[in-house]
């Protein structure tokens, strides 16, 4: 079909009411607030940016060492260091408004009220396209149970955030659970407009000579290509369980990786650790995806969502 090869494939996606010019986003915590990358890549070419997690008050983060490289991956325990929502609105968001891209603000807290506080502050703010809610934090008011690994806590939290904002709410699911579909359904029942998955897998590494953990925090989040098959599996399971749009992430390095997530059921993807390894990774992935669609004679990336062939 030579005629098809001439037309540029359509990469645009409507994600929970948010228009993305292409399905490639940057994963929270791997792209800062965009400034550091602006003199390396043209941010306007991205589908969107999911900014580093924002809390109600500033957080200084964990003591070093904070990162440790592992086979095809890395552990991190940064401790969600961030300047807080007020400084974000004053100093960080205006920069991102200069670009014609979706801006999803990742929010978190250590009690339900903190999450609600941030969500309220961001409601109606120009330049914010939606909220991504990191539910992998401990609830200090409930004995430190992690919101995202307890169905009741997750439901209460996401319902409260839902009520606090008119923005699209995207729940970022924790993979550290036995049945991801139960949490996908819970997020849907709480009124979420979409899901992000997966967050990092909890891991640990030990220095056998000093006998101490490699991270000062002892445990950390594992990311990078090492976790990709786990992430693709969870996206596939969640896509079958709920009728919500999904942002797939977990070790995406290339456009082939991104397309795996889309075939598994993700409408959009987020590139994380790859940004550290290759600051151009997002643009390479967008370019590769477009070339793949041309090659295969596929008119729109939307045609591939969830189209994994399962006999």
Partner 1 sequence: MPSNKLHRAKVLLHRPAGRGYYRLVLLAPGLAAAAAPGHFVMLRVSANLDPLLARPFGISSVIAKRSIELYYRVAGRGTTLLTAVEPGRTLDLLGPLGNGFPVPDRAATPLLVAGGSGFPPLLYFSSRYGKQARLFVGSRDKECLPPAAVMKDLRSRTKAVHYATEDGSRGACGFVTDTLAAYLARPAAGESPVIYACGPNAMLASVSRLAAEHSIPCYVSLEERMACGLGVCMGCSVSMKSGGYKRVCKEGPVFDSREIDWGGKTILQVGR
Site track 230-259 with partner 1 (rule: CB under 8 A), x = hit: -----------------------x------
Under rule CB under 8 A, residue 163 binds partner 1: no
Candidate list 2, 6, 8, 71; residue touching partner 1; CB under 8 A: 71
Per CB under 8 A, the segment of 31-39, 122-130, 150-158, 168-176 that binds partner 1 is: 31-39
Contact code string over 258-277 relative to partner 1, x by CB under 8 A: ---------------x-xxx
- Residue closer to partner 1, measured from CB, 82 or 267: 82
Question: Residue 252 Cβ, how far from partner 1 at the closest point, in Å?
Answer: 12
Q: Of 159, 157, 169, whose CA–CA distance to 106 is shortest?
A: 169
Positions 184 through 223 that interact with partner 1 (CB under 8 A): 207, 210, 212, 216
> Does 57 interact with partner 1 (rule: CB under 8 A)?
no
| Among candidate residues 220, 285, 172, 173, the one with its CA nearest the CA of residue 73 | 220
Closest to 106 measured CA to CA, from 91, 90, 88? 88
Q: Which of 45, 56, 55, 50 is nearest to 22 (CA)?
A: 45
Instruction: Count the alpha carbons within 13 Å of 165 in the hemisphere toward its beta carbon.
Output: 31
* Shortest reach from residue 100's CB to partner 1, in Å: 14
Q: Is residue 279 a contact point for partner 1 (CB under 8 A)?
A: yes
Spatial separation of the C-alpha atoms in residues 254 and 282, rounded to whole Å: 8
Closer residue to partner 1, CB minimum distance, 37 or 115: 37
Q: Is the dihedral of CA 24, 28, 30, 32 positive or negative?
A: positive
Q: Is 69 in the site for partner 1 (CB under 8 A)?
A: yes
Instruction: Determine the Cα–Cα distance for residues 21 and 173; give it in Å rounded to an integer.
Output: 24
Structure tokens at 149: 């690994």
**Cβ distance to partner 1 smaller for residue 14 or 69:** 69
**Residues 6 or more apart whose Cβ sits within 8 Å of residue 303:** none
Q: Give the C-alpha separation, 218 to 185, whole Å.
A: 32
Rg (CA), the chain: 19
Nearer to partner 1, 80 or 180 (CB): 80
Token representation of residue 273:
């650790």
- Binding region for partner 1 (CB under 8 A): 29-32, 36-37, 39-42, 52, 60-61, 63-69, 71-74, 76, 78, 81, 207, 210, 212, 216, 224-225, 253, 273, 275-280
């Amino acid at each position: 079909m030579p005629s098809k090869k001439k037309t540029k494939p359509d990469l645009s996606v409507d994600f929970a009411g948010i228009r993305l010019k292409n399905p490639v986003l940057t994963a929270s915590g791997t792209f800062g607030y965009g400034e550091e990358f602006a003199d390396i890549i043209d941010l306007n070419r991205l589908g969107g940016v999911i900014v580093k997690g924002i809390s109600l008050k500033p957080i200084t983060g964990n003591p070093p060492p904070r990162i440790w490289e592992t086979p095809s991956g890395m552990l991190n325990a940064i401790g969600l260091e961030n300047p807080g929502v007020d400084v974000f609105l004053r100093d960080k968001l205006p920069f991102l408004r200069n670009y014609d891209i979706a801006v999803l603000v990742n929010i978190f807290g250590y009690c339900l009220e903190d999450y609600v506080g941030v969500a309220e502050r961001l409601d109606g703010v120009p330049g914010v396209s939606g909220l991504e809610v990191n539910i992998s934090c401990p609830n200090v008011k409930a004995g430190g149970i992690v919101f995202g690994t307890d169905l009741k806590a997750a439901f209460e939290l996401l319902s409260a955030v839902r009520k606090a904002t008119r923005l699209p709410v995207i729940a970022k699911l924790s993979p550290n659970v036995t049945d991801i579909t139960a949490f996908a359904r819970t997020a849907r029942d709480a009124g979420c407009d979409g899901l992000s998955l997966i967050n990092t897998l909890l891991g640990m590494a030990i220095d056998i000579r000093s006998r101490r953990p490699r991270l000062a925090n002892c445990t950390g989040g594992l990311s990078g290509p090492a976790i990709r098959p786990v992430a693709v599996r969870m996206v596939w399971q969640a896509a079958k369980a709920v009728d919500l749009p999904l942002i797939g992430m977990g070790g995406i390095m290339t456009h082939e990786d991104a397309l795996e997530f889309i075939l598994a059921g993700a409408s959009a993807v987020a590139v994380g650790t790859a940004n550290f390894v290759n600051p151009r990774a997002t643009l390479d992935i967008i370019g590769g995806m477009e070339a793949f669609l041309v090659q295969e004679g596929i008119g729109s990336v939307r045609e591939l969502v969830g189209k994994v062939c399962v006999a």
